[in-house]
Structures are given as C-alpha cells and as structure tokens.
Amino acid sequence: MRKTIVWRITLMLMLFIGITTMSCAQQITKEQLKELFKANAVDLSSFTSDEFVGQLTARHNHGNKERVRESMERLKTYLSGPFYDDCCDIMYDYYAKHVTESDYTFLLASYKSPEGVAIVEKNSQLMKRFMPALMNYLQANMPAKMQACMDDKKVEPLKYTGPESFKKKWDIMVRESGSDQIVNAVMGNISHQIESVAKKNNPEKMESVKALIRILMEDVFVVVCNTAGEVYTEADLDFSLSLLRSEAGQHLKAANMDMMSNFIPMSQAISEKMMAVINK
C-alpha cells in the first residue's frame, strides 16, 4: 500500500513541477536552484487533511487511518525541506546546461512580483484540490469504465466543465511548456506496466486494456484542467505564458526537455527517498 501511495504522490509532484515550473527557472548553482524551487513551494497540508487521509485509507482495505496520517506527516516534513535538496542533486546537471544566472535573476524577481506571489499561492490551492479531485474521479468512474471496456462497450470521456477560452489558454501553456510530454511519458510508463500484466493474465482483453488506458490519459488531462479552472484566472495564465515565452522561460523549457529522457528513473529515485522517510 505504501509503495502505491508514494509512487502516485511522486508522479503527481513530478507532474506538478513540470506544469508549475513553466514559470519557474533553475540556475547554475545548486543553492540558486534550491532557492527557486522554494520560491515556488506549495502548501502541502492537504497531504494530512482528514479528507485526503480518509480517501487513501478507503482505497486500501487494510489501511489504518492513523498509520496513513503518520506516514503523510513524515512525508510532508520531508517535502517541506530535504525534498528540495534531493531534487537539486538529481536534476541539477540538466538545468545547469541551459539556465543562466541572468535567467535566475529575472525569474526570481518575477516570483516576488505581486502577480508572481499570487501565482505561487494559487499553485498551493491547485495542489490541495487536485489530488482529492483525481481520487474522487477514480473512485466514482474507473470501476464502471473498466467494466465497460472489458465488455467492449462505448465509454464516454470525462467532460471539461469550464469556459472554452480558459481551456484554450491552458492547453497552449501545457503544450508550449512541454508538460504534455511529461504527462505522456509518465502515463506511457504506467501503460506499459498495465499492459504487461494484462498480456500475461488476460491476453484476449489487450485491446480493451489499451482503450481503458487511452481513456484514463484523456480523463486525467480533463481533471487537471477542470481543477486549474477553479483556481486560476485567464489573467494568471497570461502572466505564466509571458514568463514561459521569455528568454529565461525558453531556457527552462530546454532544460525540462533535456531531462525528459530520464524522467521516470528520476521519479523512481525520488520515490525511493520518500519510502525511506515513510518507513522510518
């Protein structure tokens, strides 16, 4: 159970870094890199909220609510401090090749501007809402969608519920930042694992499994967009896009794309560090 929880949280955090750092740059020294990570740090109190702990416990029949809460408390402490050191150690070489000191200065100043401070605060709100929203979606929809796929029935995709103008800007920001590629890399890895199990245990249903994975990937994008629409305004997206399209933002994107080839191994490395913290 713990490995499942940690792996999901790790992937979510790596995705979150990929999406929110579209307006956050890293720098040539590890200390500056750490400073910028912390400048964009999110409030992680949602990891120990009654709602989130209850959802985690409910998803595992043998879950103990107090044990889950204690594990999440230790994880929150780790993510509030040592996590940034570990991320810097793991990711630094990629960013050092692309991001300059002037990029660091420009983007740190942007974070300290009124617009930047507001974005950072809203990033925390997104973090608080996204995981419960995703878990609610999985609990409410996935059993029925899985059964429909197994029965070769049509499965309706999750619907976007916000204004089309917001979705258009959000899609542009995700695409231009390269975050869609990160999501696809993560989901591709998960898909490979699921398909391997299905091929071994139920090979005649491989096409149904692949259909379910495609639906899951599409629906996760919609959950993210729906949740973002509850938090950000279109003006927030305009600000983030302006940073992304700056010279510093383009250098950051180059670093993110360079990092893509080792995204899953890096996620696994961070996951292992989280497991060590939780199992203390």
DSSP character for 97?
T
Residue 227 pLDDT level (bands cut at 50, 70, 90)? very high
CA distance 37 to 90: 13
Q: What integer best gives the mean pLDDT of the chain? A: 78
Whole-model pTM: value is 0.73
Q: Smallest Cα–Cα separation from 90: which of 248, 253, 272?
A: 272
pLDDT of residue 51: 63
pLDDT of residue 92: 86
pLDDT of residue 114: 93
Parse the chain into domains and list their residue ranges.
2-278
DSSP character for 62?
T
DSSP calls for 214-248:
HHHHHHHHHHHHHHHHHH--HHHHHHHHHHHTSHH
Contact 16, 125 (CB under 8 A): no
Residue 59 pLDDT level (bands cut at 50, 70, 90)? low
Contact 230, 129 (CB under 8 A): yes
Q: Is 259 helix (H, G, I), strand (E, B) or coil?
A: helix
Contact 170, 222 (CB under 8 A): no
Is the Cα torsion angle 279, 194, 141, 15 positive or negative in sign? positive
Q: Smallest Cα–Cα separation from 123: which of 46, 203, 50, 214?
A: 46
CA distance 233 to 107: 21
Which region among 10-19, 90-99, 215-224, 228-237 has the lowest average model confidence (pLDDT)? 10-19
